[in-house]
Amino acid sequence: MKQGTHSPAGEFSRRQVFQKIQGASAAASVVSISTGMPRSASAENTKSRSEGYAVRKSEAEWKAALSQRQYEILREGGTERPHTSILEWEDRTGTFFCAGCGTALFESEAKFHSGTGWPSFATALDGVEVEQTNALQANLGGSELRCKTCGGHLGDVFRDGWIFQGTPAAVSGKRFCIDGSALVFKPSDGSDPVVGDT
């Protein structure tokens, strides 16, 4: 997604919000030595969301299995509006799973409140695939995250964990910024799962 464009939901992407937060002076120095601001990893990533993944469905099957918001995020790479997922405020012990295929993605011990409006984690489980990108893109604009099992878009990872002192991200140096609608939380106490797009 190019800077200034909107996500399918008509909102600015998480990457655009982060770029604005970084400040004009840092961005200006990068722009002067490059061809422009890095584009969204989700927009630049041309890898299929189906080919090469263990769980594959037709688009019609995905649309039948997912809510509209889940489909828009997981299958089309969209971004939900900040502060719209119930999982942003979920603090119980448990595990976060892919809403598309049920793969374990994040543990609650890695979750922290970043103030961005999206569920944030300091580390990920093996079920998360991080887009391979150049250092400039990874440092300034982040890298796209997908479910390693079904290829569903989850969000982005940024190398700004050091900003969040007193959180697990300060130790990992990373912030996994996730669309809550891509997740289902299963509490350790056995209570009912919480679907992130509710």
- Annotated catalytic residues are 177
Question: Please, are residues 55 and 149 in contact by the beta-carbon 8 Å criterion?
Answer: yes
CB 67 within 8 A of CB 28: no
Query: Tokens 């130790």 appear where?
Result: 171
Contact 1, 15 (CB under 8 A): yes
> What is the Cα–Cα distance from 109 to 87, expressed in whole angstroms?
14
In the chain, % helix, strand, coil (3-state, to 5) comes to 30, 20, 50
Considering Cα of 195, then 82, then 11, then 46, what sign does the dihedral take?
A: negative
